[in-house]
Amino acid sequence: MEEEFDVSESKSTFDIKAFVIRVLSYWKLFVLFIGLSVFIVYQQNIRKQQSYRLGTQISIEEESNPLFTSTTSLTFNWGGVSGKVQTIMNSLKSRSIHENVVDNLEFYITYLKQSRFRKDDIYTYAPFKIDLIPNTNQLLNRPIRITFLENNKYQISINFESKIVTTQNFTSKNKSNLDVNVGEFKREFNIGDTIQLPFMNSVLSVKKDRKVLSKEEYYIQFNDFDAVVSKYRASLNIDNPRNSAILNLSMVDVNKAKIVDYLNETIEVLSEDQLNRKNQFVTNTIKFIDEQLDRVKSQLTLNADSLNNYKQKNKIFNLNNESLAINNKLTSLELEKDNINRKLAYYASLKTYLETSDTFTDVPAPAVAGIDDSNILSNIGKINDLSVQKSKYGSTVRKDATIFTDLNRQIDGLKKVLAENISSVTNQLRRDLQSTNSKIGIEEAKIKKLPKAQQQLFDIQRQYSLSEQTYNMFLAKRGEADIIKSASVSDILIIDKAKDTGAIPIDLKLSSRYLFAVIGGILPPLLLAFLITFLDNKIHNPQVLENLSSIPLLGVVGKNNLENNLIVHLKPKSTIAEAFRSIRSSLQYFYKKHSLDGTKTVMVTSSVSGEGKTFCSINIATVFAMSGKKTILVGLDLRKPKIFGDFEIQNDIGVVNYLIGQKSFDEVIQKTKVPNLDVITSGPIPPNPSELLMSEHMDSLMENLKKCYDFIVLDTPPVGLVADALELTEYVDASIYVVRQDYTKKGMISLVNDKYNKGEIKNISFVYNGYNQKGKYGYGYGYGYGYGYGYGSYANGYNDDGKQKVDFLSRLRRSFKIN
């Protein structure tokens, strides 16, 4: 029935003091949750392998070649984009760098040893090493147990849980699937023997100055190469403080030795890669010179053989003076012609390169072709500077940014100027070539005047001299290039190498973790107490009732621990009996105040069933009777009669019989064992209780009662469920509305307030029933200021409830004066 009554609360406030007391009452929950949290953290601590952070520091320098001077014939300083800070950072983030590092260190092989709760990565502490056979497959992502035996033997054990396993070739990095037998695989080998299995191909060797004990167990695991690379690539942290030339590299891992080796190897690989990029222009030039040397050397060898054969065959070993002069002059002209052709070819290649590329790392040095035009060299240098800026912004600025548009515009402008320079120089070279050819023609005409033998020797000698001088020129430039390349140094300077100098774990300290565990254990009960307090809509103390309504509080009645409701009669000195006497006094004061003479009537009702309405009716009637007044208790709760059981009388005849005209007034009245107290029970449950209470018989009943009794107490139905009680208000002088602690909802008080404000209920007062100092929810309230004297000093001489036990929480509530 209670669920059918749904009203909103008249006031919704959060009781801070009630929340505090409820929190204190949950101390067992706090102990449980804190203990559980600490236990969980303890289990995590003993199972977790601590992580460490180590770092290294490098500086990016612009190291120029110490052997390069303004007179050096090979110009390499403008050939390619220099290794700037941003370029180095991009290289460190690249996958290729990390693939080389993982490959060099073989970090795809993990060495493990079983500890109490986990397999720990022992890396350098492992007494043995696994060397893989190239181009063979290894089992992936499954621990392989290695048990050392006596006589330099060891056993391999693998537990296969599925029929198909994955293997990887760490040379080619290709992966493949392999069929195996489900179950445990075991095989013994001698230390140093080659392991040749479908899923493992390697050699196990014991490290120098290390020993292995019999029955000692270790594990190795081959991990996916790409996964390992991704892991270390993601864990490498790069910091560039204030955009300076300094880079701080750091990494986090559970094994400090692995961090040290990985960081140092990363710097080594990066330095080598950067130096190779820096020397790319020199390398391209050397490659070009080597190709020319091979070509010229072959031609020189053929010319030398032809010259020797001709001299031996014709017995002519030297040219005469005239032929010698012509030969020297022709050789000089041929070298000049060859130089012009080389320049023309270089310019043609450079023009094509300008039209198809933005950088200059794939072309040889211009000095190799004898290029010395200052305008061309200057413009190439400017294009290179702009390319350096473009590369620098490439990793930090969006591709569609304005800066790229401006740089491209400047580069395109310089390309046009450079193309015009090339066109102008090419035209001049062609004129020079035409002039040189004319001079060669004059000298060749002179040769034709020489004897036939001298002419042939002259041609062969001239070809040989030309090849020899060209070869010597390229050979000299090759030596210059080698010197410059060998003198080049990396732009990366190591300031601090990675080193384990006693790194401490970066994970939370144990004390901090336990502190968080305590906080985590406190939160759930605290949140529970908050939610219960916030959502609690029941009345737990008289002051809450007073705050919710302006209707006066007539009295506070303690909790009845007897099975019988006649506590005033059975225990007249109890605190509850004193409370009802206080209510009697208040009612008498009320009657006197309103100048009511003759028979006094009082109606007792409540919101819903179970709030102690019948209990209060019985005892209010009893205290009036015990004062010597003739009193009658009338049970008008026709739907749910209760009062007969406590008086040990029958409910066969009652109010219903009188109202339907079945019994007379005297026939429905029953005597009780309480002096001066009579009872009219409700009788059989009728089908129409409201109509009976509104009938004329009800008027006659009340008239007869007033003639015979001093006090009439009406036990009525709950006003919150049915309208019967409202029909009876016209017969009563005062109404008592019973509110039960920890039971009556705050929202129900709004209903009473509404009816009181509308005038449907008059002369009404509250009685707070079931008061418990400790309270169901741990925050009862010690009332002692006139509400029944139950907990005031006056009660000490009267109550026979026994000594009240006051616990710590009760004393705390009293000290707080919690309401």
Give 11-36 pLDDT, tens digit per residue. Answer: 446 778 778 888 898 899 999 999 99
Supply the mean pLDDT for the chain.
79
pLDDT bin (cut points 50, 70, 90) of residue 250 is: very high
Q: What share of the chain is helix, strand, coil (3-state, %, to 5)?
A: 50, 15, 35
What letters, b where the CB count within 10 A reaches 16 and e where it falls short, cover 578-616?
bbbbbbbebbbebbeeeeeeebbbbbbbbbbbebbbbbb
Distance CA 506, CA 48 (A): 13
> Does domain 52-60+80-103+231-279+494-506 match CATH 1.10.3470?
no
Q: Say which residue the tokens 């320079």 belong to.
A: 421
pLDDT number for residue 510: 65
538: CB partners within 8 A, 6+ apart: 742, 743, 744, 745, 746
Q: What angle do CA 536, 541, 546 make, to 5 degrees?
A: 100
Q: What angle do CA 92, 98, 103 make, to 5 degrees?
A: 150
Tell me if 217 sits within 8 A of 186, measured CB to CB. Answer: no
Three-state DSSP string of 593-608: HCCCCCCEEEEEEECC
User: Which letter does DSSP use for residue 684 in this model?
Assistant: S
Find residue 769's DSSP bridge partners.
740
Bigger pLDDT: 221 or 371?
Answer: 221
- 3-state SS assignment for residue 121: strand
Chain CA centroid to CA 782, Å: 50
Backbone angles phi, psi at 309, to 5 degrees: -65, -40
560: CB partners within 8 A, 6+ apart: 567, 576, 615, 770
Helix or strand run (H / E) with residue 438: helix 402-447
Distance CA 413, CA 390 (A): 15
List the single range of 100-104, 196-200, 239-243 with lowest mean pLDDT.
239-243
pLDDT number for residue 391: 60
pLDDT number for residue 726: 72
Alpha helices in 48-142 (DSSP H): 85-93, 95-105
- pLDDT for residue 224 is more than 90: yes
Average the pLDDT over 585-611 and give the result: 88
pLDDT bin (cut points 50, 70, 90) of residue 602 is: very high
pLDDT number for residue 459: 65
Which amino acid does the sequence have at 40? Answer: I
pLDDT number for residue 693: 82
pLDDT number for residue 763: 85
Tell me if 653 sits within 8 A of 615, measured CB to CB. Answer: no
Chain CA centroid to CA 470, Å: 69
Read off the tokens for 440.
């060669």
Average the pLDDT over 577-592 and give the result: 90
Find residue 54's DSSP bridge partners.
251
Please write the tens of the pLDDT for every residue from 493-526: 888 888 888 777 777 666 778 888 899 999 999 9
List the single range of 251-255, 378-382, 388-392, 485-489 with lowest mean pLDDT.
388-392
Asked if the domains at 52-60+80-103+231-279+494-506 and 542-816 fall in one CATH topology, the answer is: no
- 3-state SS assignment for residue 702: helix
What letters, b where the CB count within 10 A reaches 16 and e where it falls short, cover 402-430?
eebeebeebbeebbeebeebbeebeeebe
Distance CA 737, CA 763 (A): 11
199: CB partners within 8 A, 6+ apart: 137, 138, 139, 158, 165, 167, 178, 180
pLDDT number for residue 347: 81
pLDDT number for residue 792: 35
- pLDDT for residue 78 is more than 50: no
Average the pLDDT over 193-219 and give the result: 92
Distance CA 551, CA 747 (A): 15
pLDDT bin (cut points 50, 70, 90) of residue 104 is: very high
Q: What angle do CA 751, 754, 759 make, to 5 degrees?
A: 130
Helix or strand run (H / E) with residue 160: strand 153-160
pLDDT number for residue 62: 61
Average the pLDDT over 215-222 and give the result: 94
Q: What angle do CA 580, 585, 586 make, to 5 degrees?
A: 95
pLDDT bin (cut points 50, 70, 90) of residue 772 is: confident
List the single range of 441-450, 502-511, 625-634, 785-794 with lowest mean pLDDT.
785-794
Which amino acid does the sequence have at 194? Answer: T
**Helix 321-356 vs helix 452-487: angle between axes, to the nearest 10 degrees?**
40
Tell me if 201 sits within 8 A of 137, measured CB to CB. Answer: yes
Distance CA 167, CA 180 (A): 12
Tell me if 233 sits within 8 A of 93, measured CB to CB. Answer: yes
CATH class of this structure's domain 542-816 = alpha beta
Distance CA 440, CA 438 (A): 5
**Radius of gyration, CA atoms only, the chain:** 55
Average the pLDDT over 180-197 and give the result: 93
| Threshold 0.75, pTM exceeds | no
Highest mean pLDDT among 52-61, 201-210, 640-649: 201-210
Distance CA 20, CA 24 (A): 6
Average the pLDDT over 352-379 and give the result: 66
pLDDT bin (cut points 50, 70, 90) of residue 296 is: confident
What residue ranges in 319-413 does DSSP mark as E strands? none
Distance CA 539, CA 797 (A): 30
Average the pLDDT over 332-342 and give the result: 79
Find residue 53's DSSP bridge partners.
252
Alpha helices in 627-774 (DSSP H): 655-659, 665-668, 689-693, 696-708, 724-727, 746-758
pLDDT number for residue 174: 95
Distance CA 468, CA 474 (A): 10
pLDDT bin (cut points 50, 70, 90) of residue 307 is: low
User: CA 575, 581, 583, 586 torsion: positive or negative?
Assistant: negative
pLDDT number for residue 311: 60
List the single range of 199-213, 303-317, 548-562, 669-683 with lowest mean pLDDT.
303-317
pLDDT number for residue 393: 59
Q: Which of 604, 695, 707, 713 is nearest to 658 (CA)?
A: 695
Chain CA centroid to CA 442, Å: 88
pLDDT number for residue 364: 54
Distance CA 448, CA 599 (A): 168
Q: Where are the domains of the chain?
A: 2-41+507-535, 52-60+80-103+231-279+494-506, 109-223, 283-487, 542-816
List the single range of 260-269, 556-565, 674-683 with lowest mean pLDDT.
556-565
Read off the tokens for 756.
């009181």
List the single range of 272-286, 329-343, 630-644, 748-762 with lowest mean pLDDT.
272-286
pLDDT number for residue 18: 78
Distance CA 376, CA 351 (A): 12
24: CB partners within 8 A, 6+ apart: 778, 809, 812
pLDDT number for residue 670: 92
Q: Which of 43, 116, 115 is nearest to 513 (CA)?
A: 43
User: CA 29, 35, 38, 41 torsion: positive or negative?
Assistant: negative
Helix or strand run (H / E) with residue 620: helix 613-626
How many CA atoms lie less than 13 Å away from 409 in the CB half-sphere? Answer: 5
pLDDT bin (cut points 50, 70, 90) of residue 778 is: very low
pLDDT number for residue 178: 93
Helix or strand run (H / E) with residue 344: helix 321-356
Bigger pLDDT: 478 or 621?
Answer: 621
Percent of the chain with pLDDT over 90: 29
Determine how β-strand 600-606 pairs with β-strand 734-740. parallel
Q: Say which residue the tokens 């230390």 belong to.
A: 191
Q: Say which residue the tokens 């009332």 belong to.
A: 783
pLDDT number for residue 384: 66
